[in-house]
Amino acid sequence: MNREYEVVIIGGGPAGLTAGLYTSRARLNSLLIEKGVVGGQILNAEKVDNYPGFPEGISGSELGRLIHQQATEHGLKTIIAEVIGIEPQPKPIVVKTTESNFTAKAVIIATGSERSKLGIPGEEEFMGKGVSYCATCDAAFFQGLPLAVVGGGNAAITEALHLTKFASRITVIHRRNQLRASGIMQEKAFAEPKIEFLWDTVAEAIEGENSVKRIKLRQVKTGEKSTLDVAGVFISVGLKPNTDYLKGVLPLDDGDYVITNNKMETEIPGILAAGDIRSDSARQAITATGDGATAAFYAEKFITQQ
């Protein structure tokens, strides 16, 4: 494989795929590097019903596949590898991966984020044995069984609603006394008879034998402790940006997100960022694709002005 490109895009979610589509259409020799499965976090969405152009909704996996197909048809090349470092100086920019090193005149960072962990006893031990971060991936393993969802945002409620197709009961455990999810998501959850809520409650440990059997809880206002018998725990308590490889290379905000201007440019010429990885991102598929298009436009402008 060629090791020299005009543009290297890191991350294969909606932002990275759209950036690749636009740079490839601009006839820039472009490489997209994805460490896992092309599509990003949107693959976890069984149905995306707020993406323009799909009035009946579309699955996240299908949306990701279609954007990747479109970008590939315009010339985008894709490899599966993990980026472990970036060297911006001297030119060209060097992108180091687990497979090889690549050079580029411009780099677009779109590595997004991953689900945060609770950091409680049993979470790591029962990973894949009842502890999950993806209902779309694992719900079918829990047919007719009671489950818990930890979290109160859109992602958590989406998980809970999906689980109703499989579980006998879903208990949403939230540390506050009201959900952070959007109004329409709350309406759906409150109208679902299989979903119940434990307010002002946090998970303190996950227990079991060969698989999850129970979750230990604490009521934050009274301190009262309790145990809930469940066969699985789905954790959805926020996102952590995938920026470990960027520390010391780019300025990050207090949450370790990449700081950019409205052109998606970082303070290092030729390095741009798009999507969920960006500070103050709306973290929606549609805004990620917009970021990707913007980043591609200004990457092309940077290259042509050199």
Tell me the CATH number at 18. 3.50.50.60
Q: Are residues 137 and 227 in the same domain?
A: yes
> What domain range includes position 181?
131-235
Instruction: Give yes or no for a contact between 260 and 82, defined as CB atoms under 8 angstroms apart.
Output: no
Query: Is 266 in the same domain as 183?
Result: no
Task: Say whether both 145 and 97 belong to one domain.
Answer: no
pTM: 0.77
CA angle 156, 139, 189 (to 5 degrees): 40
Is residue 121 in some structural domain? no
> 180, 200, 235 — which closes off a domain?
235
User: Which residues, listed in sequence order, are joined to residue 260 by a DSSP beta bridge?
Assistant: none
CB atoms within 10 A of CB 35: 17
Q: What is the pLDDT of residues 238-284, one digit of tens each?
A: 888 999 999 999 999 999 999 999 999 999 999 999 999 999 888 88
Q: Which among 137, 229, 244, 253 is annotated as catalytic?
A: 137
pLDDT in tens, the chain (306 residues): 679 999 999 999 999 999 999 999 999 999 999 998 899 888 877 778 889 999 998 988 899 999 999 999 999 999 999 999 999 977 899 999 999 999 999 999 999 988 889 999 999 999 889 999 888 778 989 999 999 999 999 989 999 999 999 999 999 999 999 999 999 999 999 999 999 999 999 999 999 999 999 999 999 999 999 999 999 999 999 888 999 999 999 999 999 999 999 999 999 999 999 999 999 888 888 999 999 999 999 999 999 998
Q: Is 138 a catalytic residue?
A: yes
Supply the DSSP string of 64-104, one letter for each residue: HHHHHHHHHHTT-EEEE--EEEEE-SSSSEEEEESS-EEEE
Residue 280 known to be catalytic: no
Per-residue pLDDT of 206-233, as tens digits, reads: 999 999 999 999 999 999 999 999 999 9
Confirm whether 165 is domain-assigned. yes
13 with 101, same domain? Answer: yes
276 catalytic per annotation: no
